[in-house]
Amino acid sequence: MPERKGQHTVLFSSRPTILGAAAVVGKKEGEGPLGPQFDRVFEDTTLGAKTWEQAESALQREAATLAIQKAGFVPSQIHFLFAGDLLNQCIASTFGLRELGIPLFGQFGACSTMAQTMAMAAVFVDSGAADVCCAVTSSHFCAAERQFRFPLEYGSQRTPTSQWTATAAGAAVVGIGGKGVRLRAACGGRVVDMGVTDVNNMGAAMAPAAADTLARFLTDTRTVPAEYDLILTGDLSAAGAELFCELTQQRGLRVQDRYNDCGLMLYDRRTQDVHAGGSGCGCSAAVVCSHILREIGAGRLHRVLFIGTGALMSPTSCQQGESIPGIAHLVLLSDD
């Protein structure tokens, strides 16, 4: 049963279990350092679909279907889906998951969506509202580029601080009991806006939200960074990660010796031409639903704070001169 701790943290007393998880990615992500750990790598990033948006839907369907299979269920046994993505009106999720026939509560947290959907699934399962839920999200480089920036055909230049939207999806099936990584707590993110307006530096826009959520979680739970093996943001990438470390230091928190960012883990920045690193809902989803869960399962990590980070802008809000607010939702993943 969930219990609120402090102001914005929820502890899950029945320790919901990730009974199955899947990460599916595109060619470039498959060529990165985590390549061998993904369930499927699609050399053809259209996945046979006619449009990039439909390809992203297919990614999400693949991830959810695989995760449900790996957990030993059929779709009709899943009580609720929590899913979202970056596309206008979340069409990757709604069209991608349409045929599963499972009730769907659409979630929008921009690139923080994986952490948010995991938190929702954990609340539902821990409270008895559901026996089993599935958390899913995705992004697709080609769909995101044309929606947020320029059509690919323009071949436009990218700035050094820009991030590369991952072509990837991740899914986690959450239930009670059984074997698997446990969801022990969640902390809800506030909208934090420091006035950043550079759409090519989302990391800087999101870092203050990540620092805010981490600080509130540590206060709520009266814990310190040293009690966790890994503090993992997703995805601040190079510029944002550096800023995150500075901002946490200003608050008297030492994270550097146990910190990483999904956007820095997905690609080899020296050779893969992704500039500051990866981004997109699918980036942290794929990193967490493969490598991170595996590391915890193998006993190499014990307690991981996964802080999903999102930039809450749209092309319209930017064109209208608005700054870029950030948000960060946190979940505590544990081996016990």
Comparison of 200 and 260: residue with beta carbon closer to a copy of itself: 200
Q: Tell me if 70 sits within 8 A of 76, measured CB to CB.
A: no
> Which one, 163 or 290, has the nearer CB to a copy of itself?
163
| Nearer residue to a copy of itself within complex by CB, 70 or 105 | 105
CB of 108 to a copy of itself, least distance (A): 4
Q: Is 304 helix (H, G, I), strand (E, B) or coil?
A: strand
Shortest distance in whole angstroms from residue 322 CB to a copy of itself:
6
Q: Where are the beta strands (DSSP E) in 152-207?
A: 164-165, 168-175, 181-187
Smallest gap, in angstroms, from Cβ of residue 257 to a copy of itself?
A: 28
Alpha-carbon torsion, ordered 69, 73, 75, 81, to 10 deg: -90
Q: How far is the CB of 286 from a copy of itself (least distance, A)?
A: 21
Shorter beta-carbon distance to a copy of itself: residue 86 or 283:
86
| Token pair in block for residue 303 | 């307690």
User: Cα separation of 222 and 185, whole Å?
Assistant: 13
Q: How far apart are CA 231 and CA 207, in angstroms?
A: 13
**Which is nearest to 85 in space by CA: 126, 136, 134?**
136
Instruction: Name the site residues for a copy of itself (rule: CB under 8 A).
Output: 1-4, 7-8, 10, 50-51, 53-54, 79-80, 84, 86-91, 94-95, 97-98, 101-110, 116, 119-120, 123-124, 126-131, 147, 187-191, 193, 312-317, 320, 322, 325, 327, 329
Alpha-carbon separation of residue 129 from 5, 71, 132, 318 (angstroms): 20, 19, 9, 39
187 vs 307 by CB, closer to a copy of itself: 187
Residues 138 and 85 sit within 8 Å (Cβ to Cβ)? yes
| Minimum separation from the CB atom of position 18 to a copy of itself (A) | 19
Q: Name the residue nearer to a copy of itself (CB basis): 288 or 312.
A: 312
Min separation Cβ 56 and a copy of itself, Å: 11
